[in-house]
Structure 1
Amino acid sequence: MHEMSIAQSLVAIIKEEMEKHGLTRLHAVRVCHGRLAALVPEALAFAFEACTLGTPMEGVQLEMQDIPIVLRCSQCGTEFSPEAGDLFMPCPSCGEGLGHEVLQGKELYLDNIEAE
């Protein structure tokens, strides 16, 4: 379960940013993740809760925002989003089915920290 190591990294980054900006109270955190990031949102929420248990971050709202997949056709350059994560969807413009470039959908990042 690599979500635990991701949660531990998130907690470390949040602590560092709060110290850097003199913040003492954390309210909410938003993490953005692409559909291809190999992340189980429920597992990350559970791991984050476990990592913050008994700390000043306990009970902090963890919001997770899904980033859709965007592909660029290898043949004609059309950008499109496959339906329901189907990476084998042919290009809607030319019908090419292979070799599409992934433009969006692999991301995983800490987007926002709400604190005072």
Structure 2
Amino acid sequence: MHEMSIAAAVVEQVDEAARRHGAPGVARVRLQVGELAGVVAEALDFCFELACAGTLVEGAALDTEPVTARARCAPCAVEWAVGMPPDLGCPNCRTGGNVHLLAGRELQILDVEWARCPPAGQKG
């Protein structure tokens, strides 16, 4: 399950940022997840909670913002929602070549909300 490695990487980055900023903890992490990133949101939520244990991120809420996969046909400039499984054939001119994926592979931290108090069980 690669969601655990994703959750661990997010927690590590956010924990380091919280320590650098002198934050007592983290209240919320907002993550952008593309439709084609291959991430199961429920599994990521579960793994995030596990990965947070013993860090400044412990107890933080994880908000995931899904990003719809979109493509653009270079010859006719039509854009469309790719869907799952991905359909990269242009719905307008029916070409399958020279199509550019515009969105859907995102996996990034959008923002973090610092906590006002340290997480339960940790000293501030």
Where on the TM-score scale, by shorter chain, does this alignment land: which range?
Answer: 0.7 to 0.9
Identity of aligned residues (%): 36
Q: Distance in 1 between matches of 2:56 and 2:15?
A: 10
TM-score, with structure 1 as normaliser: 0.85
Structure 1 residue 53, shift from structure 2 partner: 2.9
Structure 1 residue 25, shift from structure 2 partner: 2.2
| SS, match of residue 23 in structure 2 | coil
Specify every segment of 5 or more residues in structure 1 that has no aligned partner in the other structure, as ranges.
none
Structure 1 residue 95, shift from structure 2 partner: 2.9
Specify every segment of 5 or more residues in structure 2 that has no aligned partner in the other structure, as ranges.
116-124
Structure 2 vs 1, CA of residues 80 and 4 (structure 1 numbering), >3 Å: closer, same or farther?
A: same
Give the superposed CA RMSD.
Answer: 1.8
| SS, match of residue 72 in structure 1 | strand
Structure 1 residue 47, shift from structure 2 partner: 0.5
Structure 2 vs 1, CA of residues 94 and 81 (structure 1 numbering), >3 Å: closer, same or farther?
A: same
Structure 2 vs 1, CA of residues 55 and 16 (structure 1 numbering), >3 Å: closer, same or farther?
A: closer
**Residue aligning to 2:106:** 107
TM-score, with structure 2 as normaliser: 0.80
Instruction: Map 1:1-116 onto structure 2 (within 5 A).
Output: 1-82=1-82, 84-88=83-87, 90-96=89-95, 98-99=96-97, 100-116=99-115
Residues matched between the structures, number: 114
List structure 1 runs of 4+ shifted beyond 6 angstroms. none
